[in-house]
């Protein structure tokens, strides 16, 4: 029988298992601290646990860590891009951005993606598989170990659609935010979604005070359908209603992402539509200059058009920022590094 992946368990799960093993409940907290604060990679190192229990834990569980496959460090701003190789050979991508407010890690939630957004590199080859909780967690842990520094913020904005891997992503949030362990506040976690309305509602009902970022990218349904297949399933109005529902449940202000694509969604008329759609609401909009993807025809909007778009929506009293490009010298859109690596492997390079 294969061993259980202990880093995918939250403290409550662990307490149940420890009780079942005939041990006292408080042992679970000790073990959880060894795993998530001390970051031990073997049960042997858990010196306040009896030898007998350590051996029984070792028979039942394994402590999985991620192997760094490649690492690129920006000379401009210290941004780091990592590729990790998983047990089954899958390759996933993560990014670390050293912001003033703390080190922020952008983690992947799936190997590949099945959402099909036209501007995105992560979805080019479809979905390979969901990541386990410990594989999502392991990205941040491996980066902390590599840098010798702590991570304070997590953004679920790497490859994959987090709400399409709902249970493992929620479990990841529970584990990484537990104050008996890594203790990254849920308020320091941002989850970005292309707009799985049912998932947004489920997240709202859980009440986790994470920040939701909705990938809007268009101000009318016709335009959105051209670039995001999810728009065939849900209207923008349904997306917004789900966001307001979440705000009601969690009190957390929602963010919208709007990637500006030349001639597709960046005209003055688009800005007016967007202004009318969300003007006056307590939201934040992040304008992202689209990052061109080799395999796609779409182009980035010009700087002038981006600035004009930004000033036009500011008139509607919308809190807006233009996303700063990080790690320009090691850049490439989300998922591009992974795709290149997969291609190289296929060519035997
Ligand atoms: N599946 C999630 C996370 C995706 S990545 C989602 O759809 O939100 C985070 C953000 O980057 C999303 O808003 C996504 O639409 C956007 N994005 C993806 N590829 C991009 C590109 N080439 N240029 C600009 N933004 C991009």
Residue located nearest, by CA, to atom 2 of ligand 1:
193
Mean pLDDT in residue range 317-340? 81
Residue 333 has pLDDT above 70, yes or no: no
Q: Please give the pLDDT value at position 334.
A: 64
Predicted confidence (pLDDT) per residue in 167-205, tens digit: 999 999 999 999 999 999 999 999 999 999 999 999 999
Local confidence band at 328 (pLDDT 50, 70, 90 cut-offs): confident
Query: Which backbone phi and psi does 240 adopt, to 5 degrees?
Result: -65, -40
297 Cβ partners below 8 Å, 6+ apart?
A: none
Mean pLDDT in residue range 322-330? 83
Pocket of ligand 1 contains residue 334 by CB under 6 Å: yes
Ligand 1 pocket check: which of 114, 154, 197, 257 to mutate, most ligand atoms within 8 Å of Cβ?
257
What is 36-98 written as a DSSP string? HTS--SSGGG-TTS-HHHHHHHHHHEE---PEEEEEEE-TTT--EEEEEE-TTS-EEEEEEEE
Give distance in angstroms: CA of 253 to centre of ligand 1. 19
Residue 117 appears among annotated catalytic residues: no
Residue 92 has pLDDT above 90, yes or no: yes
Predicted confidence (pLDDT) per residue in 97-154, tens digit: 999 999 999 999 999 999 999 999 999 999 999 999 999 999 999 999 999 999 999 9
Q: Kindly report the average pLDDT of the chain as a whole number.
A: 95
Cite the beta strand spans of the chain per DSSP E: 4-5, 61-62, 67-73, 80-85, 91-99, 102-106, 110-112, 127-130, 153-156, 189-193, 211-215, 255-260, 284-289, 319-322
Q: Please give the pLDDT value at position 349.
A: 61
Residue 243 appears among annotated catalytic residues: no
Q: Which atom of ligand 1 is nearest to the CA of 289?
A: 24
Pocket of ligand 1 contains residue 194 by CB under 6 Å: yes
Mean pLDDT in residue range 70-74? 95
Rounded CA gap, 113 and 121, in Å?
Answer: 9
Residue located nearest, by CA, to atom 15 of ligand 1:
215
In percent, the amount of the chain with pLDDT more than 70 equals: 98
Mean pLDDT in residue range 254-282? 96
Tokens of residue 93, six digits: 């991508």
Q: Please give the pLDDT value at position 27.
A: 98
Residue located nearest, by CA, to atom 5 of ligand 1:
157
DSSP label of 220? S
Predicted confidence (pLDDT) per residue in 120-133, tens digit: 999 999 999 999 99
Mean pLDDT in residue range 5-21? 98
Higher pLDDT, residue 323 or 256:
256
Predicted confidence (pLDDT) per residue in 239-261, tens digit: 999 999 999 999 999 999 999 99
Give distance in angstroms: CA of 120 to centre of ligand 1. 6
Pocket of ligand 1 contains residue 290 by CB under 6 Å: yes
Mean pLDDT in residue range 314-340? 83
Higher pLDDT, residue 262 or 337:
262
């Amino acid at each position: 029988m294969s061993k259980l992946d202990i880093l995918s368990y939250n403290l409550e799960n662990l307490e149940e298992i420890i009780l079942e093993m005939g041990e006292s409940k408080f042992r679970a907290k000790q073990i959880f601290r060894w795993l998530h604060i001390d970051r031990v990679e073997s049960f042997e190192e858990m010196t306040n646990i009896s030898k007998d229990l350590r051996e029984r834990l070792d028979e039942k569980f394994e402590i999985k860590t991620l192997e760094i496959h490649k690492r690129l460090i920006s000379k401009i701003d210290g941004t780091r891009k990592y590729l990790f190789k998983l047990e089954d050979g899958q390759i996933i991508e993560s990014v670390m951005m050293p912001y003033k407010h703390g080190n922020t890690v952008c983690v992947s939630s799936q190997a590949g993606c099945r959402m099909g957004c036209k501007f995105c590199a992560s979805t080019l080859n479809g979905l390979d598989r969901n990541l386990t909780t410990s594989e999502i967690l392991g990205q941040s842990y491996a980066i902390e170990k590599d840098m010798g520094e702590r991570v304070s913020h997590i953004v679920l904005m790497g490859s994959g659609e987090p709400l399409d891997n709902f249970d493992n992503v929620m479990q990841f949030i529970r584990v990484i935010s537990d104050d008996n362990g890594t203790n990254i506040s849920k308020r320091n976690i941002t989850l970005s979604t292309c707009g799985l309305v049912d998932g947004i509602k489920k997240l709202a009902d859980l009440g986790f005070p994470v920040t939701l970022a909705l990938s809007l990218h268009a101000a009318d349904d016709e335009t959105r359908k051209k670039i995001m297949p999810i728009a065939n399933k849900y209207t923008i109005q349904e997306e917004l209603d789900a966001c307001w529902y979440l705000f009601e449940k969690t009190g957390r202000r929602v963010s919208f992402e709007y990637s500006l694509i030349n001639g597709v969604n960046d005209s003055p008329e688009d800005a007016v539509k967007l202004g009318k759609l969300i003007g006056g609401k307590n939201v934040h909009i992040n304008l992202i200059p689209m990052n061109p993807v080799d395999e796609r025809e779409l182009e980035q909007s010009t700087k002038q058009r981006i600035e004009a778009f930004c000033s036009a929506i500011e008139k509607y009293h919308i809190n807006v920022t233009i996303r700063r490009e990080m790690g320009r010298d090691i850049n490439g859109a989300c998922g591009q590094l992974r795709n290149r690596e997969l291609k190289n492997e296929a060519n035997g390079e």
